A = this chain, B = another copy of it.
Amino acid sequence: MINKIVQSMADAMAGIKDGSTVLIGGFGAVGQPDQLIEALIEQGAKDLVCVANNAGNGRVGLAKLMELGRVRKIICSFPRSAGSVVFEELYRAGKIELEIVPQGTMAERMRAAGAGVPAFFTATSVGTILAHGKEEREFNGRRYVMEHALKGDVALVEAWEGDRWGNLTYRSSGRNFNPVMAMAADLTIAQVSHIRELGELVPENVHTPGIFVNRVIHVDRGPAWA
């Protein structure tokens, strides 16, 4: 019997290696796999490359992982926000690398990795400093830059429901980056608010099919998110 549901965070994090590229879902707090990030802090892997839309907030979660010196590089679209204090400190001190990527390009680069497309062209960033060093090319009279697939060793995603085959659904705007990250990593770990019996999810309305998911763990996010 296929059973991707794990019972402990230690099992969920097993085998994550130093030097991994870790894709972390969420858009701000929404759809962010908080408990998996905490578990990764606990697990100990270091020298990580983290891919996330934001560069952490306050001194918890991703910010804490960075503050502990475990993140070598961050790839994101929006590093600078009111609460990104840890990132700012580390970055100014030259203790963390940054690759800034337009948000849509970041999503598409991961979707490409998941879909077996090593590179694609986009008009986004043409004529800007973010196009520096990128190959440019004209199609039908318009200029485009070539972007490469962005693959993860690990993806940490947050979902609303999950079953033992790894099928996931997302709630509302909590979907965001999670489905593209799930398909772009070798090891995808999902924290879900609700475990469902196999067959309970409507086949037409599975948002991430289990083929993209390796481990599922139940996390009660508390009354505000219930």
Q: A residues near B, CB below 8 A?
A: 108, 112, 115-123, 137, 139-140, 142, 144, 148, 169-172, 175, 202-205, 207
Contacts and interface: CB of A to CB of B under 8 A. Distances in A.
A169 B204 contact: yes
A148 B175 CA distance: 29
Q: Is the interface of A mostly helix, strand, loop or mixed?
A: mixed
Contact of A122 (B117, B121, B175): B117
Given A108-B115, A115-B108, A171 B204 contact: yes
Given A170-B204, A204-B171, A204-B172, A119 B121 contact: yes
A120 B116 contact: no
Contacts of A203: 172
A24 B171 CA distance: 32
Given A170-B204, A172-B204, A204-B205, A144 B122 contact: no
B123 A120 contact: no
Contacts of A170: 204
A116 B112 contact: no
A139 B118 contact: yes
